[in-house]
Amino acid sequence: MLTALKKSNKERELANRLHEAIIGRARAPEFFERFGVPDTLDGRFDLVVLHSWLALGRLRGEPALHDISQRLTNTLFAAFDEGLRELGISDTGMGRRMKKIADAFYGRFKAYDDAPDGAAMAEALLRNLYRGDAKQSEAANTISRYVFEAKAALANSNVAQGELNFGSLPQ
């Protein structure tokens, strides 16, 4: 029993470190200042989802980390729930809103999973990060290149030790 508790605590700590890394990168001011991602709840949510997709994709590559992947997903949704509560959402509206968040979260995951190349990824990013604003297509292309570079950088990250190296920010 004690071993199970220690494992559980280690997994929780690891998931929290990974969550902090995702949030840290998603909140990088460059996304908002240089690349025009709206600094709104939606814009911040979309950047968290994008970086979560990258991190969870890296975890999916290692079957031994399946439990950590699930723990990280739970941590992300607990943070979404907490954020809604901080905004004053009552318990009566929470279930409906969390369902919308889950639908958006997994819908974006599918869009990114279905983007095999830079052009398709830029299209998905334009739809999600920029709500289809064609004036942001160059920024979406830049962030698309960043996504593929981040995937390569993450391949060398020691996620089992809580390391998520997303590489350099977009240039």
pLDDT tens digits for 20-51? 999 999 999 999 999 999 999 999 999 999 99
pLDDT classification of 52: cutoffs 50, 70, 90: very high
> Residue 2 has what pLDDT?
47
Question: Does the pTM of the predicted model rise above 0.85?
Answer: yes
**Contact present, 44 and 27 (Cβ < 8 Å):** yes
Tokens of 14: 């690891």
> Distance from CA of residue 92 to its chain's centroid?
27
Residue 51 burial by Cβ neighbours in a 10 Å radius (0-12, 13-18, 19+):
buried
Token pair 């889950």 is found at 102
Share of the chain above pLDDT 90, in %: 77
> Residue 171 has what pLDDT?
79
pLDDT tens digits for 99-149? 999 999 999 999 999 999 999 999 999 999 999 999 999 999 999 999 999
- Comparing CA positions, the residue from 54, 43, 23, 52 lying closest to residue 144 is 54
pLDDT tens digits for 160-170? 899 999 999 98
